[in-house]
Amino acid sequence: MKTTAISIRPDSGTKSFTLLGYGVMAIITIICFVPFWLIVAASISDEATILREGFKLWPRTVSLDAYRSIFQGSKALLHSYLVTIFVTSVGTLLALLLTSMTGYVLIRVDFPHRNGIAFFIYFTTLFSGGVIPTYILFVKYLALKNTVWVLILSCLLSPWNIFLMRNFMKSIPYSLVEASKIDGANDLQIYTAVMVPLSKAGLATVGLFIALNYWNDWYHASLYITQEALYPLQYLLYRMLSNAEYMKQAAAAGIFLDTVSLPSETLKMATALVVTGPILLLYPFVQKYFVKGIMIGSVKG
């Protein structure tokens, strides 16, 4: 506890360890930061300089052309922002409601089938039908292709989040549930009046995990969305990058394509930043919730 109380002079081993620690961590930190810096630097560079000299960590000429063309031109980006915001907010709220209800049911000791249900949920992490059957179910039998609902439904519930929520709720004194029951509250009232207000921290943490997952999802869009108006942000970015690459290869192979419509390198970088922006802006404020969630989630049980 009070390591400072007995101050033992650091021996040479401790000193060299600390020195090594600073060195190694500084290098690792820089490696984690450089790619972000690179994108920022490239997005404010001047296109001609990049084409002539390549990406530089320190742009010699600064130009905001890329951002200007993003905010003037593309309706597509605005559309995708709306799609992503809709999917993220509706999906997160729905997922939080269902996840917390499940967590609540799973901690009620007087509910007879809770172990059976916990296993029923857990089993889906062990064994799954796979991508293709799920795809055919969504497309052929539920007819959800090209709807926002497919994006919401496919990441709605995860066993991991359910068990994380349950672990949070387990830390609430169970006597409160029993006391409210004696006071005549029914199961739903206990959930809304006792559990939800008391698990705010848990809801925030799990909600952030869910929201991040929705925001960063491009994979389900690549399977189910073919209409440009419904592209979420990450998929829009992905399409832009892969189309540019495809056109470049075609041009190298001698196939004539209209290269004017090719997005410039700076535009790619600026779009990437605009698409990731909200995460980077919120990151400093929400990071502690994630740390908390990981700590609780990593505890077995």
Judged by CB under 8 A, the chain residues 163 through 192 that form the site for another protein are 187-188, 191
Kindly determine how many residues on this chain lie close enough to bind another protein according to the rule CB under 8 A.
96
Q: How far is the CB of 51 from another protein (least distance, A)?
A: 7
Task: Quickly list DSSP for 210-265.
Answer: HHHHHHT--HHHHHH---GGG--HHHHHHHHHHHHHHHHHHHHTT----GGGSPPH
Options 68, 93, 109, 122; binder of another protein; rule CB under 8 A = 122
269 binds another protein (CB under 8 A): yes
Q: In the bound complex, what is the minimum distance in angstroms from residue 288's beta carbon to another protein?
A: 10
Of 276, 294, 288, 147, the C-alpha closest to 216 is 276
Minimum Å gap between C-beta 97 and another protein is 9
Burial pattern 233-254, b for ≥16 Cβ within 10 A else e, equals: bbbbbbbbeeebeebeeeeeee
228 binds another protein (CB under 8 A): no
Can residue 281 be called a binding residue for another protein (CB under 8 A)?
A: no
Check residue 44 for interaction with another protein (CB under 8 A). Answer: no
CA–centroid distance for 65 within its chain: 29
Minimum separation from the CB atom of position 245 to another protein (A): 8
Give the ranges where 112-216 is alpha helix by DSSP (H): 114-126, 131-136, 148-154, 159-170, 175-182, 187-190, 196-198, 200-215
Please, which of residues 65-104 interact with another protein by CB under 8 A? 98, 101-102, 104
Q: Which one, 89 or 192, has the nearer CB to another protein?
A: 192
